Amino acid sequence: MNIKRTYIRIIDSFYWLIRKHRSDDGIFTHKLDRFFLETYDIHKFISRFFRELFTKPFEFREFIRQSYEVGVRSIPLITLTGFVIGVVFTRQSRPPLVEFGAASWLPSLIGIAFVRALGPLVTALISSGKVGSHIGAELASMKVTEQIDAMDVSAVNPYKFLVVTRVAATTIMIPLLMLYCTFVGMLGSFMNVHQNELTSFVTFFESAFAQVSFLDVSAAVFKSILYGFTIGIVACYRGFNATNGTQGVGRAANRAVVFSMFLIFAEELLIVQITHWIAAF
Amino acid sequence: MKKEDQQSALKETVITIRGLHKSFGGLPVLQGIDLDLFKGENFVVLGRSGSGKSVLIKIIAGLLKPDAGTVNVLGQHVDLLNDKELQSLRLRLGFIFQSSALYDSMTIRENLEFSMVRNFKTLSAKEVDHAVYEVLDAVGLKDKINAMPADLSGGQVKRIGIARTLILHPEIMLYDEPTAGLDPITCTEIIELINEVKTRFNTSSIIITHDLTCAKETGDRIAMLQDGHFTRLGNFGEVFDTDDIRIKRFFDYNFIK
Ligand SMILES: Nc1ncnc2c1ncn2[C@@H]1O[C@H](COP(=O)(O)OP(=O)(O)O)[C@@H](O)[C@H]1O
Ligand SMILES: [Mg+2]
C-alpha cells in the first residue's frame, strides 16, 4: 500500500534526524514509533469510515437511535449552558460598552460572538464531554467484553454497525445542536438586555443579526460539522481500540474527551485563520 | 494399516491445522499445532490458563492471524480469505465466547436475530420469529425472549450464547470454556446441552476446557495443550494413562483422590 510506504518513509527520515542528534535511541524513539504507528492507525480508521459509509448496507435504525441519543438527550444540557452563557456574557460585556456610551451595540456584539465563536465552541466542548465520553466508554466496554469480536464472528461488520452510525449521528446532530445553542444563548442574552435596556424582541434580534454575514453562518455550520465528526471518530477510535479490561474502559472515555477537545481547539484556530483569509477577499 | 487409521482416513475432516505458530510480542504461545477435526466429532482441548486455548480457536475463526502454518476450515484457508469470503465462512461457524459476550444493550430476541436479519435479508419476520423460537426451545429458555442479558443467571447466559450461534445452523461449534465459572449442576446441564446440540444440529465441535468432567462427558477425542503444542491425544483413558506429573496433577485436582 502506498500510504503505508509513505508513513514508513516519514518515520525513517525522522529516525535518521534523531540518530544524527542523539547517540542513544532508547525510550524516545520507542515513543516516536508508537506515535507514528498510531497516526497510521487513525488514518486507516478514518478512511475506513468514508469507505464503509458509501457501501451498502447502511444501518439506518441504529443511526436514528444514535441520532436521538446524541441530539435529543443533549438538549437539556445545551439549553442550560447556552442560556447561562448568554446571560453571563451579556452582563459582563455591558459595563465597558456603557462606559463608551455604546450600550446599544450590545445585541450586535452578542450576535457576532455567538454565531462566530460561542455557539459552535460551547456546543462542541459540551458534546465532547457528554457524547464523546459516552461513545468512548460504550464501545470500549463492548470491546473488552468481546461483544465486538462476537459481531465479527457472527458475520456482521461491527465497524458498520457501531462506528459508521455513531460518527454519522454526531456529524449531523452537532451542527443542529449548535444552531439550537446559539438560539438559546441569544434568548438568554435578550432576557438580560430586555430587563436593562427595555429592548423589544424584534429589535434585539434585528440588530443582533445585522452584523452577522452569510460567511459567518456558513463557517459556523461547517465548523460544527467538523467538530461533530471529530467527536464521533475520536470516541469510536478510542473505544474500538480499548484494551486491559475495566481499566481500559475508563481510559478510553477519558482519552476520547481529552483528545477531541484538543483537536477542536486546533481546528478552531485553523478555521478562524481560513475565514479571515476568505473574508479579506 | 491399523483398523482405527483406516477408519479415520475414511472420515471427512472439517478443520485441518498444520504447523500452527503464534506469538505475541516475542512471547511464543502456539508452537506447532497439528489438528484434524472430523465431521460429527467433539474434540476437546485441555490446557492450563494461558496455554493458548482461546488463541487457537480465535485463529480458527479468523479473529487472529497465524504467524506460520496452515489453517484449513471447511476447505478454505482462513488466513487467505478476503472480507467477504471470511464472512460467509463465519456463517458456518458458531463461536461461543468464554464470557458469552451477549450484546448487553439488546434484548434476548435482538441478540438472537442480530446476525440473521443482516445476513439473510430475504427472510420474512415470521421466519425469523420461527427461528428464534426454535433455538430458544433447543436451549429451554422460551420465556426469556424479551429479557435483557443482565437479568439472566450465569447458566442462562451461556445457553443464550449457544442459542445465538445455533440460529444460523453452523456446521462447526467452537466452545471456549463452556462450563467455567458455573456451579456443578449447571455444568451438567450445559454438558448435556452440548451433546444434544451435536446430535440435533449435526455439528462438529472443538470444546476448550480445563474441566475434566466436561472433557470426559463431551469429548470423542481429547488433546492436551502444553508448551504450545498437543502433548497427548486420544480418548479420555489414553490421555491420562501417563506418568507425566503435570498431567497427573491436572487429573488429581478434578477427580478428588
Ligand atoms: N490479543 C493478544 N495480545 C497479546 N497477547 C495475547 C493476546 N491474546 C492472548 N494473548 C496471550 O496469549 C497467551 C494465551 O492466551 P489464551 O489463549 O487466552 O489462554 P487460555 O488458554 O487461558 O485461553 C496469554 O499469555 C495471553 O496473555
Ligand atoms: Mg481462554
- Can you list the positions of beta strands (E) in B25-135? 27-38, 42-47, 68-73, 76-77, 93-96
Q: Which residue carries 443582533 as its cell?
A: A208
More confident residue, A5 or A54: A54
Query: What does each C-alpha distance from A209 to A87, A148, A206, B117 come to in angstroms?
Result: 18, 48, 5, 50
Q: How far is the CA of A235 from the centre of ligand 2 (A)?
A: 28
What single-letter amino acid sits at B224?
A: M
Model confidence at A241: pLDDT above 60 = yes
Which domain, by its residues, includes B123?
Answer: 39-62+82-255
Model confidence at A28: pLDDT above 70 = no
In angstroms, the CA A71 to CA A176 distance is: 8
A-B CB pairs within 8 A amount to 52
Report the percentage of chain A scoring pLDDT > 90.
Answer: 65
**Which residue is closest to A138 within chain B, CA to CA?**
B105
Kindly state if the Cβ of B53 falls inside 6 Å of ligand 1.
yes
Model confidence at A70: pLDDT above 50 = yes
More confident residue, B238 or B12: B12
pLDDT at A18: 61
C-alpha cell belonging to residue A180: 439550537
- If you take atom 9 of ligand 1, which residue's CA is the nearest one? B55
Going by C-alpha positions, the residue among A161, A152, A143, A187 that lies closest to residue A52 is A161
pLDDT at A197: 85
Q: Is residue B72 part of a domain?
A: no
Q: What are phi and psi of B173, to 5 degrees?
A: -110, 135
Q: Determine the 3-state secondary structure of B77 from DSSP.
A: strand
pLDDT at A9: 76
Q: Is residue B125 part of a domain?
A: yes
Peptide bond into A95 cis (omega under 30): no
Q: Is residue B75 part of a domain?
A: no
Whether the CB-CB separation of A211 and A186 falls below 8 Å is answered with: no
Kindly state if the Cβ of B226 falls inside 6 Å of ligand 1.
no
| Residue A15, number of CB atoms within 10 A of its CB | 15
B90 and A57: CB-CB below 8 Å? no
Cβ-in-10-Å burial (0-12, 13-18, 19+) of B214 comes to buried
Q: How far is the CA of B116 from the centre of ligand 2 (A)?
A: 27
Q: CB under 8 Å to B43, separation ≥6 — which residues?
A: B35, B37, B204, B205, B206, B207, B219, B220, B221, B222, B223
Question: Would you give the distance in Å from CA B212 to the centre of its chain?
Answer: 16
Read off the pLDDT of residues A89-106 as tens digits, 9 standing for 90 and up.
999 999 998 888 888 888
- Parallel, antiparallel or unpaired: strands B221-226 and B42-47: parallel
Kindly state if the Cβ of B52 falls inside 6 Å of ligand 1.
yes
pLDDT at A145: 93
Shortest Cα–Cα distance, A161 to chain B (Å): 10
pLDDT at B26: 83
Pocket test for ligand 1, best of B27, B29, B250 (most atoms within 8 A of CB): B29
Going by C-alpha positions, the residue among B14, B61, B51 that lies closest to residue B31 is B51
Determine if residue B101 is left, alpha or beta; phi over 0 gives left, psi from -120 to 50 gives alpha, anything else beta.
left
More confident residue, B237 or B130: B130
In angstroms, the CA B28 to CA B101 distance is: 27
pLDDT at B10: 62
Whether the CB-CB separation of A182 and A86 falls below 8 Å is answered with: no
A152 and B90: CB-CB below 8 Å? yes
Could you please report the per-residue DSSP string of B165-199?
HHTT--SEEEEESTTTT--HHHHHHHHHHHHHHHH
Query: What does each C-alpha distance from B108 to B143, B150, B159, B165 come to in angstroms?
Result: 10, 10, 11, 13
Model confidence at A34: pLDDT above 80 = no
Read off the pLDDT of residues B93-128 as tens digits, 9 standing for 90 and up.
999 999 999 999 999 999 999 999 999 989 999 999
pLDDT at A22: 54
Model confidence at A151: pLDDT above 90 = yes
pLDDT at A111: 92
Read off the pLDDT of residues A169-195 as tens digits, 9 standing for 90 and up.
999 999 999 999 999 999 999 999 998
Going by C-alpha positions, the residue among A127, A34, A38, A121 that lies closest to residue A85 is A121
- Mean per-residue pLDDT, A241-270: 92
- Mean per-residue pLDDT, B230-254: 79
Q: Which atom of ligand 1 is nearest to the CA of B225?
A: 21
Q: Is residue B25 part of a domain?
A: no
Q: Which residue carries 434484548 as its cell?
A: B107
Read off the pLDDT of residues B10-56 as tens digits, 9 standing for 90 and up.
678 999 999 999 999 889 999 999 999 999 999 999 988 899 999 99
- Mean per-residue pLDDT, A22-26: 51
In angstroms, the CA B206 to CA A7 distance is: 41
pLDDT at B57: 94
Report the CATH number at residue B106: 3.40.50.300
Q: What is the pTM of this model?
A: 0.88
Model confidence at B73: pLDDT above 60 = yes
In angstroms, the CA B191 to CA A236 distance is: 38
In angstroms, the CA B216 to CA B206 distance is: 14
Read off the pLDDT of residues B171-209 as tens digits, 9 standing for 90 and up.
999 999 999 888 889 999 999 999 999 998 889 999 999
Q: Is residue B156 part of a domain?
A: yes
How far the first Cα of chain B sits from its last, in Å, is 39
In angstroms, the CA B159 to CA B166 distance is: 10
| Interface predicted TM-score (ipTM) | 0.90
- Considering chain B, what is the average pLDDT of its residues? 89
Total number of domains in chain B: 1
Kindly state if the Cβ of B24 falls inside 6 Å of ligand 1.
yes
In angstroms, the CA A177 to CA B54 distance is: 45
Q: Is residue B95 part of a domain?
A: yes
Model confidence at B233: pLDDT above 90 = no
Shortest Cα–Cα distance, A213 to chain B (Å): 45
Largest CA distance in chain B: 59
Q: CB under 8 Å to B165, separation ≥6 — which residues?
A: A154, B94, B95, B96, B173
A155 and B115: CB-CB below 8 Å? yes
In angstroms, the CA A140 to CA A148 distance is: 9
